[in-house]
Structure 1
Amino acid sequence: MKLHLVDILPQFAASFVATLSSISDGMHYAWSAPVLPLLREETSPVTITKIDEIWFEGSYLISGLLGLPITVYLVDKIGRKKAILTASATSLVSWILIGSSRHVAQLYCGRILAGASGDMAYVAIPMYLSEISNEKYRGLLTSYDFNMVLVGTLLISAVAPFTPYYVPAVIGVILLALQLAISPLMPESPYFLLSKNRAEEAKTALEKLRANQANIDDEFNEIAEAVQKQNTQKGKYTDLFLVKSNRRAVTIITVLILCQFFSGFSAVVMNLHTILDEADSGDVINVEKYGIIFYSLMVLSATFCCLTVDKFGKKILLIVSSVLTGVCLLIISIYFNLQKFGVDVKSVSWIPAYALMGYAVAFKIGMGFLPQVIVSELFPNNVKAFGMTYGDFLFIVFSFVSLIFYQYLNYFYGHYVPLYTFTVVAFLGAVFTYYFVPETKGKTLDQIQTMLQEM
């Protein structure tokens, strides 16, 4: 695909504004790894216990689940844009609470609000991006959101260990305040406006989003026809499972997101320092600096995916990513297996560190966020909010369960058992993608629905 900068500029500008909060969400997601060591110090402004350390993550994830009904209501009631800005305002308050905390209860309140705001953004932003994008650039722009999340994880990993406790919160507040200030640059989704019978506003929004006005009437008519067709019946949550095409979409995203998290992402990211220490890799690398390298590789790999997804397609990137991820996990699994059974592997303790770097690159060229991009494409307009929320539910549940699965098996048997399991799942993900995941490259959202109905 040839990228025409003039054509994409208005869509990119709206996407940039919409995803500024994604940087903040990435900072919230990775907050515990670099910040908890600061809170354990005697100079910490807040006194915490081991139980608190566990529940800072738990409260963040659980509040995301509790926010699901609110998310479904907001994206269809007030619109995608206003839902994004509501999430941003909530996240801004959470950073203020976290940065100014002098008591552990205030930290919990901040983490709970962060989880709820992240849940709203997780649904609203990909939905917004998929609906404002021309089909030629939709893969690039929807992938851009998840790349910004990675920028946030890198940012907090690079800043938090070397600055006072409150600095990440200040950065988060600045990012979100900037987004709210320049939000007029974001037109509302034409799909949403048409679904509310606001045709003139929808036409104006589409004109703002398209630099090339030559075919604007044709595109507007296509969108209007698609929305009218999808809205002939008001969507219900049960339609996800009763309508054949929706049921196929649900099956695809359920398996993809399961494979995504049971390929070890949350377990590896949240236990990165522990894995390196127990592999004795700390003797050959600086663990703190390694974290910055690890996240930098993820950002670079995800950027490559963003720029090439509309050329290669999502399917091929998912397959390549799954296979390479499986290979990297297999190498790490074998190392810990040998270590567990008494083999002296200290002379090759660099292997897990480099295999984890390979994992960062391999996972983020596809499996790292393309399942979430696909979720934003597979559901028709009348059940899209339900479908996106279902994907969000899976994201939270599989993230949490995969973490517990990893910690439990690692505690009783060692790293190699859960890592072998993640290896198998990664390879199975490649097989499932090859046979069952449709290629959506270059197709309109209406054409994707037709394809699902014919599968």
Structure 2
Amino acid sequence: MDKQNEKTKSSTSRVPDTLFLYISVITAHLVSIASGTSMVWTSPVLGKLYSNDTEVNPIGRPITTIEVSMLAAIPTFTNIPGILFMPKLSDIIGRKRYLLSAAFVMLLAGVGLAFSNNVALMIITRCIFGFHGSWMVVCLYVAEVTEDHNRGKFGCYFGILHQIGHLFGFVIGPFFSVKYFTLITISPLLIFLVIFTMLPETPMYLLAKGREEECKMALRKLRSNKTEEEIEVDLEKLKENLKKQKEEKGKITDLTKKRESRLAVILGLLPLITTYCSGVTVIFTFLAPFFDEAGTSLSGDIVAIIIVVFKITFFLLTSLVIERFGRRKMFLISSTSTAIPLFLLGIYFYLQSIDSSLIAYLQWLPLTCLIFTVCFFGLGLGPIAQAFVAELPSEELRAVTSSLVHSIGIFVSFALTFLYPIISELGVQWCVWWFSMNCVVGSILMYFFLPETKGKSFVEIQDMLKNYSKLRKQ
């Protein structure tokens, strides 16, 4: 590329983002809203399933502890084969077609869940709902329709819209039956299926498939505030990226053969595992019953709404400042800070377990600690980890790498979700303290090993991984 093109590229790389780009990203994340609501579905529903009232409880009897573990955890575990194999299909049929197909399957599974009248059927339909790993392909879609300077900001939208899904579930869950609550939670999928059909495929995918004219059309829609010359510069940049990333066809074996591919997996896992092991996702799965165990005068359902509002606020804040402060710094601040309120929350539950007289003076502590936990979590671990995973791999290995990394993360989430209801009967404090310790360990590991990707193109990130040892010595 000549100097004039380089100058043009430099001068146009940070023009304001278009309304169409915002619509494309937000519409894609309607799937994330549905997934987020599904994640906390158990929180308002468990109270009904514990009831002896057959008018409230669709299974006709109180649910057992082991059934709670199975209902919450098994759908998470069965997501693993879906995440490992299904998103690779998006490399064949395209990100757009895959997401449309996945949303339709989610819609059918949601209807089946709404009319389920036994635990086994609930587990099966919840498994189908999340089997395809659509949220991961959403992250890929967003990463490929955005640019280097705004990829981090829009990458945070997964966390934001996922949390809005949490809020959606917490707000409406207590006021509707299990059937109508479930039907309402899948309504964003209907909107998605209507609007997303009119949105473009990702330019990166189109160019990779040799559909250059369609790629240019997609670029014109997504970056309509750029001139035709600037669009040509962006197209040449995409061609350059593909040329460097696809010198040889990507294979799953390249994950072990190529140093940068191995590092993409390991470094992607580091913040993601810390995110899951912080326990925030587990706590949100059981948020209403979790807070009810604290024994305060506040309702667990009301507390869930309060906490998720704070969480969304800090997810939004992170999306505004991430390109200024960078991924690594935000991860370190988030993980270190999240450990503190979790440790204090563990002290509260310990004092409660020994019937300490101090509990009467500490009724404010559980809500305060949970608010600070989700606020600090929202500064990095929550909104950035998913997008960070999609940044590290090369284009031809992005889907398979993300599948592997997220599968390992989901397995960790399954184990924590399954074990929490059982171990918490021995003492909630032990669970919460363990979550706190995980945040500290994660901070230490990220401080020493995690690189910064702020403002870097996919090619620059690959070059950085190739020279990773040199970077660590600097």
Is this a same-fold pair by TM over 0.5? yes
CA distance in 2, matches of 1:78, 1:222: 24
- The question of whether the paired residues in 1 share the 8 Å contact of 2:289 and 2:300 is answered with no
**Aligned counterpart, 1:60:** 75
- The question of whether the paired residues in 2 share the 8 Å contact of 1:99 and 1:170 is answered with yes
Cα deviation digits, residues 272-330 of structure 1 (max 9, x gap): 334433332x23x2322111101111111111112221222111211111121011112
Letter in 1 for 2:451: P
Which of these residues, 382, 395, 415, is aligned with residue 428 of structure 2?
Answer: 415
CA distance in 2, matches of 1:298, 1:258: 19
Letter in 2 for 1:293: I
Runs of 4+ in 1 over 6 A off after TM superposition: none
User: What is the CA-CA distance between 1:4 and the residue it aligns to?
Assistant: 8.1
1:15 aligns with 2:25: yes
CA distance in 2, matches of 1:46, 1:274: 19
Give the TM-score, by structure 1 length: 0.92
Letter in 2 for 1:28: S
CA distance in 1, matches of 2:198, 2:153: 19
In 2 relative to 1, CA 22–248 (structure 1 residues): closer, same or farther, beyond 3 Å? same
**Aligned counterpart, 1:262:** 277
**Aligned counterpart, 1:389:** 403
1:249 aligns with 2:264: yes
1:202-241 matches, within 5 Å, as 202-214=215-227, 215-241=230-256
CA distance in 1, matches of 2:34, 2:240: 37
In 2 relative to 1, CA 329–206 (structure 1 residues): closer, same or farther, beyond 3 Å? same
Letter in 1 for 2:241: A
CA distance in 1, matches of 2:435, 2:119: 35
Letter in 2 for 1:201: E
User: What is the CA-CA distance between 1:381 and the residue it aligns to?
Assistant: 0.7
**Aligned counterpart, 1:33:** 43
Where 1:42 maps in the other structure, the secondary structure is coil
1:363 aligns with 2:373: no
In 2 relative to 1, CA 168–446 (structure 1 residues): closer, same or farther, beyond 3 Å? farther
In 2 relative to 1, CA 173–333 (structure 1 residues): closer, same or farther, beyond 3 Å? closer
Which of these residues, 393, 396, 400, is aligned with residue 379 of structure 1?
Answer: 393
- The question of whether the paired residues in 2 share the 8 Å contact of 1:257 and 1:394 is answered with no
Instruction: Report the more deviating stretch, 5-14 or 367-376.
Output: 5-14
- The question of whether the paired residues in 2 share the 8 Å contact of 1:321 and 1:365 is answered with yes
Where 1:227 maps in the other structure, the secondary structure is helix
**Aligned counterpart, 1:287:** 300
**Aligned counterpart, 1:152:** 165
Letter in 1 for 2:35: D
Unaligned runs of 5+ in 1: none
- The question of whether the paired residues in 2 share the 8 Å contact of 1:59 and 1:115 is answered with no
Q: Which has the higher contact order (CA 8 A, sep 6+)?
A: 2
Letter in 2 for 1:42: T
In 2 relative to 1, CA 217–237 (structure 1 residues): closer, same or farther, beyond 3 Å? same
**Aligned counterpart, 1:24:** 34
CA distance in 1, matches of 2:33, 2:293: 31
**Aligned counterpart, 1:123:** 136
Quote the RMSD (CA, aligned, Å): 2.2
In 2 relative to 1, CA 249–287 (structure 1 residues): closer, same or farther, beyond 3 Å? same
**Aligned counterpart, 2:102:** 87
CA distance in 2, matches of 1:326, 1:254: 19
Cα deviation digits, residues 144-177 of structure 1 (max 9, x gap): 0221111111111110111232333332343211
For these two proteins, the number of residue pairs brought into alignment is 448
1:42 aligns with 2:42: no
- The question of whether the paired residues in 2 share the 8 Å contact of 1:14 and 1:185 is answered with no
Letter in 2 for 1:277: D
Letter in 2 for 1:365: L
- The question of whether the paired residues in 2 share the 8 Å contact of 1:122 and 1:392 is answered with no
Letter in 1 for 2:397: V
Where 2:347 maps in the other structure, the secondary structure is helix
In 2 relative to 1, CA 5–185 (structure 1 residues): closer, same or farther, beyond 3 Å? farther
CA distance in 2, matches of 1:206, 1:84: 20
1:398 aligns with 2:412: yes
In 2 relative to 1, CA 4–224 (structure 1 residues): closer, same or farther, beyond 3 Å? closer
In 2 relative to 1, CA 21–226 (structure 1 residues): closer, same or farther, beyond 3 Å? same
**Aligned counterpart, 1:109:** 124
- The question of whether the paired residues in 1 share the 8 Å contact of 2:274 and 2:442 is answered with yes
User: What is the CA-CA distance between 1:102 and the residue it aligns to?
Assistant: 4.3
**Aligned counterpart, 2:366:** 352
CA distance in 2, matches of 1:101, 1:94: 10
- The question of whether the paired residues in 1 share the 8 Å contact of 2:260 and 2:462 is answered with yes
- The question of whether the paired residues in 1 share the 8 Å contact of 2:158 and 2:383 is answered with no
Where 1:166 maps in the other structure, the secondary structure is helix
- The question of whether the paired residues in 1 share the 8 Å contact of 2:335 and 2:440 is answered with yes
In 2 relative to 1, CA 276–17 (structure 1 residues): closer, same or farther, beyond 3 Å? closer
User: What is the CA-CA distance between 1:374 and the residue it aligns to?
Assistant: 0.4
Where 2:54 maps in the other structure, the secondary structure is coil
Where 2:433 maps in the other structure, the secondary structure is helix
1:303 aligns with 2:313: no
- The question of whether the paired residues in 2 share the 8 Å contact of 1:17 and 1:185 is answered with no
